[in-house]
Chains A and B, each alone.
Chain A
Amino acid sequence: MTKRKRFGVSQALTRGLSETIHVVENNAGIFRNVILPLSRIELDPDNPRKLTISLADVQNGLDKNDVAYERKSAELEKLRELANTIESSGIINPIVVYKRGETYRVVAGERRCLASILAGKNEIEARVFNEKPKGFELKLIQWIENTAREDLTLEERIGNIRDIIQEYQLQHNTDDLSATLLKTITGLSLPQASYYLAVLNAPHDLKRAIENGKIGSLDKAAIIAGIGSDELRNQALQACIEGCSLKELRQIIAKEKQAHKKQAMPPKSKRGRVVTRVNMGFTLNTMVVHSIVAAVLMQPDFKKYADIFSRVKWDQYDQAARAFQKLIEILEHETVR
């Protein structure tokens, strides 16, 4: 008797339906995309990106007597580059804002805002948070927006992380912080997270070098932060400031360690998983399999199995592989442990 046909909705449609439902369930009402007048937008003074240039500077032009004139004009030049692309093709990603009374405060997208004003735009596409993001979330969004940017200094990046950690500890009422936790919060890789933690807790000499912009690499800073001896750390710090590579830096430390090390014993415990079986390996030459099978079949106890292998085409991988598996099966059966 044949089974009666079962009807159903196609897989593609079922998938489309459930995906759509998930999107709504997970995202409804979190934010909405709108076009906002730029005149309603204000920058966040606490944004981790410390742009010197202000909204007024962009609107009214720079003042030559301004103490920060030089830095500001460099920033303005960069903003002009962005403004040119905005003029021709608009902003690609909407900025992120939240409503604050009559105005909207920027969570992420300061430069896009300023450059849009430079480009002569009156409006900007924005993603509006319906509520002010909580301190921790706000910092996290700013961090995520900034994390891919190359023009942040190491100090700015470390400052970011410090803020995130503080907000997190405040919100969760905890002092606890491990690299694993930092990884979970920020989505950093575990090594990166531990680098940041190392640098955050770095001795003063290293911190100062970072503040002065003398050290810009996180990996190097983390290595230096890990050096216990003041003397050696200072040596590494100097080498780093003079532009030594990561490899050279590691060598300095290794050499120093070598000198102090007294015949360290190799660790006794084995690393890796416990080995409980034999990997039989693989070969590209099927005739190897043929030879093994032939050799086994010559044994008196195994001659009776010769028939099984008589029709195997040894030049074909699949047949050879199956034959080998069969052989192992037979051997396991016949061989007493």
Chain B
Amino acid sequence: MKVIAFLNNKGGVGKTTCSRTMAEYLSKVKKMPTLAIDFDPQCNFSHQYLKMEIDPAAPEGLIPPIHPDYNSHDLEDADWDGRSSIAEIFYGQGVVPYPTYIEHLDVAPGHAEKLLAAESVRKSEVVEKVHKQLTNFLSSPDVLAAYDSVVIDTAPSKGPLTVSVIKAATHIIIPSVMEEQPVQGIYGMLQLWMQESLAREKTRPLKLIGILPNMFKQTRLHKDILKSLQDNTAIGKYIMPVKLSQRIVFAEIDSEDANPHSIFDYQQSHVAKDEALEVCSYITERIFA
């Protein structure tokens, strides 16, 4: 099972769009059993597939809806409130992924309040309580049996949540806008990649697929910064040879009643779809070949 994470501690660089595109490519195009995990307290990734609810008691944000398998009359479900988010791993609870409108895609949604709580765990306890939990969950036999790939969307932070994703991942991708501040975010992520790589055994390396130029515009700023990164011998190897352009269609498919709802449902040779296919097949080739 491959665990693919999109990371950048700068917000607004398109982590969620990339995660979504990748998860839909693997499940829809490649028909691969895929689990989408939303590790961002903003829960935007979850919202693509579930009608997330506003919890009146939790002003911090969204919570998952009632699970379709939940039956309040069933004794087995007596101890369950019917909602399940990926944050349950921090509370010793089981995670029950939700099915989505895509056949091979399940989602383990975020839970704003619970994820934020995990992010603010005290330093002395963070290793046991947060860092290891996602790895434990993803190495459980049930999860290994059910999925061939896992795609994780992360919070724009370098905190315990992101660290736990890095510890659980087999492959990471750093999407970045070709501007100074997001590129600084790349540095933060490379630091985490370094710390984790040095700590891991050789047999289980953390592979950096690369830096994905995202929301790319044919402007001098974007072109120059991309070129300066490509021209550096050390960094250049890690700049992916594919990119996603800035396109309004990615925002359009975000809305709840959008039709089509997935970029891969667009007609043949749609320019954005082609680009997404190119990026995803490159990543897939690198990971699964």
Q: Report if B155 contacts A (CB, 8 A).
A: no
Given the interface pairs A13-B184, A16-B187, A21-B234, the reply to whether A32 lies near B198 with Cβ below 8 Å is yes
Closest CB of chain B to A211's CB: distance in Å?
A: 42
Proximity bits, A4-34, B CB within 8 Å = 1, else 0: 1111111001101111111110011110110
Proximity bits, B188-209, A CB within 8 Å = 1, else 0: 0011011001111111010010
Question: A27 contacts B198, CB within 8 Å?
Answer: yes
Proximity bits, B215-259, A CB within 8 Å = 1, else 0: 000001100110011001111011000000000000000000000
Q: Report if B169 contacts A (CB, 8 A).
A: no
Closest CB of chain A to B195's CB: distance in Å?
A: 10
B residues 159-216 touching A (CB-CB < 8 Å): 180, 183-184, 186-187, 190-191, 193-194, 197-203, 205, 208
Question: Size of chain B's interface in residues, with CB distance under 8 A?
Answer: 30
Proximity bits, A228-257, B CB within 8 Å = 1, else 0: 000000000000000000000000000000
Complex CA distance for A14 and B227, rounded to whole angstroms: 12
Question: A32 contacts B201, CB within 8 Å?
Answer: yes
Question: B198 contacts A28, CB within 8 Å?
Answer: yes
Question: B194 contacts A14, CB within 8 Å?
Answer: no
Question: A32 contacts B199, CB within 8 Å?
Answer: yes
Question: B228 contacts A14, CB within 8 Å?
Answer: yes
Output the nearest chain B residue to A22 by Cβ-Cβ distance: B234
Complex CA distance for A14 and B183, rounded to whole angstroms: 9
Given the interface pairs A9-B225, A10-B180, the reply to whether A29 lies near B190 with Cβ below 8 Å is no
- When the two chains form the complex, which single residue of A4, A22, A24, A29 contacts B201, counting CB atoms closer than 8 Å? A29
Q: Report if A130 contacts B (CB, 8 A).
A: yes
B-side contacts of A17, CB under 8 Å: 186-187, 190, 229, 232, 234-235
Closest CB of chain B to A123's CB: distance in Å?
A: 15
Question: B238 contacts A9, CB within 8 Å?
Answer: no
Question: B229 contacts A32, CB within 8 Å?
Answer: no
Complex CA distance for A263 and B24, rounded to whole angstroms: 93
Closest CB of chain B to A25's CB: distance in Å?
A: 8
Complex CA distance for A18 and B190, rounded to whole angstroms: 10
A-side contacts of B197, CB under 8 Å: 24, 27-29
Question: A20 contacts B224, CB within 8 Å?
Answer: no
Question: B184 contacts A24, CB within 8 Å?
Answer: no
Pick from A18, A22, A29, A33 the residue with the most CB of B within 10 Å.
A29
Question: B180 contacts A21, CB within 8 Å?
Answer: no
Question: B235 contacts A24, CB within 8 Å?
Answer: no
Closest CB of chain A to B286's CB: distance in Å?
A: 17
Question: B187 contacts A13, CB within 8 Å?
Answer: yes
Complex CA distance for A20 and B191, rounded to whole angstroms: 7
Question: B194 contacts A23, CB within 8 Å?
Answer: yes
List A residues at the B interface (Cβ < 8 Å): 4-10, 13-14, 16-24, 27-30, 32-33, 130-131
List B residues at the A interface (Cβ < 8 Å): 180, 183-184, 186-187, 190-191, 193-194, 197-203, 205, 208, 220-221, 224-225, 228-229, 232-235, 237-238
List of 8 A-B pairs having minimum Cβ-Cβ separation, nearest first:
A29-B202, A18-B234, A7-B224, A8-B228, A28-B197, A20-B190, A21-B234, A32-B199
26 contacts between A and B (CB under 8 A): A7-B225, A7-B228, A8-B228, A13-B184, A13-B187, A14-B232, A16-B187, A17-B190, A18-B234, A19-B234, A20-B187, A20-B193, A21-B190, A21-B237, A24-B190, A24-B193, A24-B208, A27-B197, A28-B202, A29-B197, A29-B200, A29-B201, A29-B202, A29-B203, A130-B202, A130-B203
Starting from the known contacts A19-B234, A21-B238, 11 additional A-B residue pairs (CB-CB under 8 Å) come to A5-B220, A7-B224, A8-B228, A9-B228, A13-B187, A16-B187, A17-B187, A21-B237, A22-B234, A130-B202, A131-B202
